[in-house]
Amino acid sequence: MSSELTDIKSLSIDELTKELTDRLEVQKFRAKQIYEWLHKKLVTDFDDMSNISKELKNKLKENYYITKLEPVQVLTSKIDGTQKYLFKLSDGNVIESVLMKYKFGNSVCISSQVGCRMGCRFCASTLDGLERSLRPSEMLDEIYRIQSLTGERVSNVVIMGSGEPFDNYDNIVKFLDLLTDENGLNISQRNVTVSTCGLVPRILELAKRQLQITLAISLHAPNDELRRTMMPIANKYSIDEILHACKVYYENTKRRITFEYSLVQGVNDTMECAEELIHRLRGMNCHVNLIPVNPIKERDYKQSFAKDIEKFKNRLEKNGINVTIRREMGRDIQGACGQLRKSYLES
C-alpha cells in the first residue's frame, strides 16, 4: 500500500465530506454515497461503487485506499457454532475475531491491537508483546468481513479480543463513532462493550464523552496485592482508583458497569476473595461476569473446579450482586484471547 494514499475507511462522514469537497471538488451528496458504499454496503473496491462515475472512481483511487482484511482461517465450533476468524492485515500481520450467535443476535468480539503489552499472566495475546495498534478501518473491517462472509447482520460488538483498547484510545474513539454512525452499520451504542484492564485516565476521558457504551473492567482480584500477581497494570493503578473512575463513568452515562473476574484455581476463587469482592462492590450498580479461566500452555494457571465457581457465584448473589458465569464458547476452537493467532504463528 503506497504511503501517500489516505485510509478512506477511517474517515468519519464529516471528514470524508470535507476531504472530497475541498480536495477533489466533489459535490457533498457524493460523499454520503461513497460513505454508504464503504460502511453500509461494505464494498472493498472503488469499482463496485456503481453510481459513481469512472472519472471520480479514478480520482478516488489516486488518493485513497480501502482497507480490506483477508480471512486466512475460519474455525467453527461443533459445540455451539461459534466461529473464530483469523484475518491477515495489509502488512502481513494476523489478528483474530470471534462471531458468537445468541438468541438476541450476532455478536462479534474484535481485536484492538496486534498483540498486547499489558502482560496479564493468564492471557495468550500478550505473550509476544505488542506488535502495533489497529486503525479504525481495520477494527471496522473485522466486523464488515464477518457480516459479508456470513450474510447475517451483526448487532452487537464487544472490544474484548486481543489488545488493550485504551492503549489505542484515539483510534477506539474514532472506531466507535464510525460503528454507531447512522449512515453506516448504525450499531446502537448500547450494544457495544469496551473491556479494559483499567487504564484510569482513559476511563475518565471516555466518561466525559457520555456515550451509551458498556464499560467492562477486567478486575480479576478483590485486592491490589493479589491483582499485582496477575496483572502488571495493577502496579500503576489501584482498585480504589479504578472504582472511582467507574463511579464517574456511571454518573456521566448511567450505564451499569461490568466487572470481569476470571477464576483461577486456588488463586482468586476462595470464599475470602468472594467476601472481599462483595465488600468492594457494595452499593455499586454493577454486574459481575465470572469467567472460568481458559488455561494456556505457557502458564501454570488452572481453571477453578465447577463447584467452586458455583459457590463463588452463590456467595455474590446472596449479597445482592448481579452475577453471570460466562458460557464457555468455542473451547474446541482455541476460544481464549490470542490462542489461535499464536498457534498460527508457531506452525
Residues that bind ligand SAH (CB under 6 A): 118, 120, 122-123, 160, 164, 195-197, 218, 260, 262, 291, 293-294, 296, 336-337
Shortest distance in whole angstroms from residue 78 CB to ligand SAH: 21
Nearer to ligand SAH, 31 or 293 (CB): 293
Shortest distance in whole angstroms from residue 335 CB to ligand SAH: 9
Nearer to ligand SAH, 23 or 302 (CB): 302
Dihedral (CA of 151, 12, 48, 85) sign: negative
The one catalytic residue in 96, 138, 164, 260 is 96
d(CA 259, CA 104) in angstroms, rounded, equals: 22
Is 241 considered catalytic here?
no
d(CA 160, CA 269) in angstroms, rounded, equals: 22
Shortest distance in whole angstroms from residue 105 CB to ligand SAH: 20
Any idea which residue has 454518573 for its cell?
251
263: helix, strand or coil: strand
The one catalytic residue in 131, 225, 337, 346 is 337
Nearer to ligand SAH, 34 or 233 (CB): 233
The grid cell for 204 is 475518565
Shortest distance in whole angstroms from residue 126 CB to ligand SAH: 9
Is 337 considered catalytic here?
yes
Nearer to ligand SAH, 131 or 181 (CB): 131
Strand runs (DSSP E) across 118-230, as ranges?
130-133, 154-159, 192-196, 214-218
The grid cell for 307 is 463447584
Catalytic residue set? 96, 337
